[in-house]
Amino acid sequence: MTNALDQKTYWGLLETVRRISTRDDERVAAMWDMSEEDAIAPAMLGVRAQFDLPWPRGLAETDSDADREAAASQGNGRSSRIDGAFMMGPSQALNYLLQLVRSRRIRMTAIKCDRYRVKQIPVPQAELHNLEFRITSDHRFAKVGLWSRSHNTLMWRSPQFLRADIIRVWPPRKKKSAAVSGVILLHLQTIMTPAAPLTRAEAQRRCLAEVPNAYHGAFVKAWAELEPSCKRGRGKHGPRGH
């Protein structure tokens, strides 16, 4: 599987969206035998669950949730974190990806929609500001493409993204969540007791700073398994029950 993944230089839009929302190359590879129409559902289902944003201004995964939320809100307004990602509708997710293409963080090619063009070429920067990604199951020529916002017309079909850029912006997790969350749980049991409970925010700050490879999603899983008597609510008095 790894060799096959390494041989594919470009990913299509649906593959790219699936990779961003799951960080799982094997789930991307599972889409390769699907038709474009069949691949729409699994790709968009992942977006509805979570769309993993790269932290703006170089924020690391050890930065506080408040810092991440403040930075992310500059691009997309309201957002709620789920397992280290942001809730985002499909249209918002596609618009965010296009922003990264416009800023040249992600390189993209596509096929111009005219009778003379059959090859993938870079989409000119000057055109990008009037384009948007659309995914539709009823267009007769292309299910996925770049549409002119001003003319409501399909301008470029079959957009592709350089795989190396996607992996650079969204690198794979270094360790499985279960392994990392297990280490975090042990650390929580060391630094927290019923006699000296911590709030969730305090515990998270310490774990992200003190546990190697810790990240938000793994902390959430560990916190859910921690004995309730060790937890303290946001108020000043006593442990909370859950």
pLDDT, tens digit, for every residue of 72-123? 443 443 333 333 445 556 777 888 899 999 999 999 999 998 877 679 999 9
Question: Is residue 13 in a domain?
Answer: yes
Asked if residue 102 and residue 43 are part of one domain, the reply reads yes
Asked if residue 109 and residue 45 are part of one domain, the reply reads yes
| Weakest-pLDDT range from 42-56, 120-134, 165-179 | 42-56
Asked if residue 127 and residue 18 are part of one domain, the reply reads yes
Amino acid 25: pLDDT: 81
Helix or strand (DSSP H, E) at 24: none
Asked if residue 104 and residue 40 are part of one domain, the reply reads yes
Which of 114, 143, 169 delimits the end of a domain? 169
Closest CA to 95 of 43, 147, 49: 147
* pLDDT at residue 50 tops 60: no
Asked if residue 212 and residue 115 are part of one domain, the reply reads no
Amino acid 105: pLDDT: 93
Closest CA to 205 of 82, 94, 68, 70: 68
Asked if residue 196 and residue 144 are part of one domain, the reply reads no
pTM of the complete model beyond 0.85: no
Q: Residue 173, CB half-sphere, CA atoms under 13 Å: how many? A: 24
> Could you tell me the CA-to-CA distances from 127 to 17, 35, 124, 132 in Å, in that order?
22, 28, 6, 10
Mean pLDDT confidence for 196-216: 85
- CA angle in degrees (0–180, nearest 5) for 147-152-157: 25
| Enclosing domain of residue 144 | 2-51+88-169
3-state SS of 168-205 is HHCCCCCCCHHHHHHHHHHHHHHHCECCECEEHHHHHH
Question: Is residue 119 in a domain?
Answer: yes
Asked if residue 224 and residue 130 are part of one domain, the reply reads no
> Could you tell me the CA-to-CA distances from 223 to 65, 190, 231 in Å, in that order?
16, 13, 9
Amino acid 18: pLDDT: 85
Asked if residue 146 and residue 209 are part of one domain, the reply reads no
Question: Is residue 75 in a domain?
Answer: no
Question: Is residue 44 in a domain?
Answer: yes
Q: How many beta carbons lie within 10 A of that of residue 3, not counting itself?
A: 6
Burial of 78 (0-12, 13-18, 19+ CB in 10 A): exposed
- Bigger pLDDT: 3 vs 97: 97
Q: How many domains does the structure of the chain reveal?
A: 2
Question: Is residue 80 in a domain?
Answer: no
Asked if residue 122 and residue 190 are part of one domain, the reply reads no
Asked if residue 157 and residue 42 are part of one domain, the reply reads yes
Question: Is residue 74 in a domain?
Answer: no
Amino acid 141: pLDDT: 73
Which of 141, 169, 197 delimits the end of a domain? 169
What is the overall mean pLDDT for the chain? 76
Question: Is residue 43 in a domain?
Answer: yes
- Bigger pLDDT: 231 vs 57: 231
Closest CA to 81 of 96, 91, 71: 71
Asked if residue 112 and residue 46 are part of one domain, the reply reads yes
Which of 142, 169, 196 delimits the end of a domain? 169
- Render pLDDT for 80-92 as a digit per residue (tens, 0 to 9): 333 344 555 677 7
Question: Is residue 82 in a domain?
Answer: no
Asked if residue 205 and residue 223 are part of one domain, the reply reads yes
Mean pLDDT confidence for 53-69: 40
